[in-house]
Amino acid sequence: MQETWLAQIRAASDPQRRLAYAKLFAEGKLANQKTVLEEYEKRARASGNASVVPALTRGLEAVGDHLSRLQGCTSVDEVRQEEALAAKAYWEAIAALLPPNLGFELRLTRQRIRAEPDVEVDPFNRALNIGYSALLREVWAASLVAGLNPYVGFLHAPRTGKMSLVFDLMEEFRAVAVDRPLITLARTHPETLEPLRSNNPGHEDEPDSESREAFIAVWREV
């Protein structure tokens, strides 16, 4: 394990190697985002659901463009910028797929929710955060089994106490392991997610039975 950690630290300390790995992590994420959008665009066309096709096509083209630009990035910051722009286009496309009553308009991360405690969080964003927490646990456990240092990453900036490598490794799996099943759940059984709405009384520190059931439903999906 010690040799693996040392090799990992050396790689993360080398600007060129760090950039190369950062590109790989971002490429994996964007490629799977593209896959998810392609899948839903094909379904929409096949089912005659023409109203969502333009949004999905725009998102698909934008994510593809940012994916193709990654190889030309000369710094990790540039990679992060392309990833962020692709994410914006991706979530705008996903918003067109979801039932309007869920109120999903943009992605709200846990960090933003903590920074803006008064922001109203829609049920789908809550579900995503639950799903990503489940994914984080799995990836963290796998990184330890593999003998990797979870705190030494490449794409995510190092910060005390932040498992940067775990977040790096998660990126490729977010769209297919969490987003896709939750999109399906939201489209087929949106009522399942309603108890997760942030203005639902008692769902934070003392969750009511409906909130607990919704939490369990999301956890099972991923």
For the cut 90, the answer to whether the pLDDT of residue 27 exceeds it is yes
Tell me how far apart the alpha carbons of residues 195 and 203 are, in angstroms, rounded to a whole number: 8
DSSP code per residue over 93-139: HHHHHS-GGG---S---HHHHHH-TTS---HHHHHHHHHHHHHHHHH
In this predicted model, what pLDDT tens digit does every residue of 70-124 receive, in sequence order?
999 999 999 999 999 999 999 999 999 999 999 999 999 888 888 888 888 999 9
Burial 19-38 (b: 16+ CB within 10 A, else e): bebbbbbbbbbbbbbbebbe
Q: Which tokens belong to 152? A: 């030494």
- Tell me which residue of 213, 211, 194, 193 sits closest to 202, measured CA to CA: 211
- Residue 8 belongs to a domain with what CATH number? 1.20.120.920
Domain count, the chain: 1
Q: Which domain holds residue 18?
A: 2-221
Q: What is the distance between the terminal CA atoms of the chain, rounded to a whole angstrom?
A: 30
* Number of alpha helices (DSSP H) and beta strands (DSSP E) in the chain: 9, 0
Query: pTM score, two decimals?
Result: 0.90
pLDDT at position 218, please? 75
Residue 97 CA to residue 56 CA, distance in Å, equals: 8
Two tokens at 169?
């490794």
Cα separation of 94 and 84, whole Å?
A: 15
Q: CB-based contacts of 148: which residues, under 8 Å, 6+ apart?
A: 4, 5, 8, 165
140: number of Cβ within 10 Å: 17
pLDDT confidence tier of residue 204, bands split at 50, 70 and 90: very low
**Closest among 120, 104, 69 to 190, alpha carbons compared:** 104
* Nearest CA among 39, 190, 176, 206 for reference residue 127: 190
At which residue do the structure tokens 């994914």 appear?
135
Query: What would the pLDDT profile of 159-202 be if each residue is shown by its tens digit?
Result: 888 999 999 999 999 999 999 999 999 999 999 999 888 654 44
Cα angle value 174/91/112 (rounded, 5°): 80
Q: Across residues 7-32, what is the average pLDDT? A: 98
| Residue with token string 């927490």 | 133
- Whole-number Å distance between alpha carbons of 216 and 222: 10
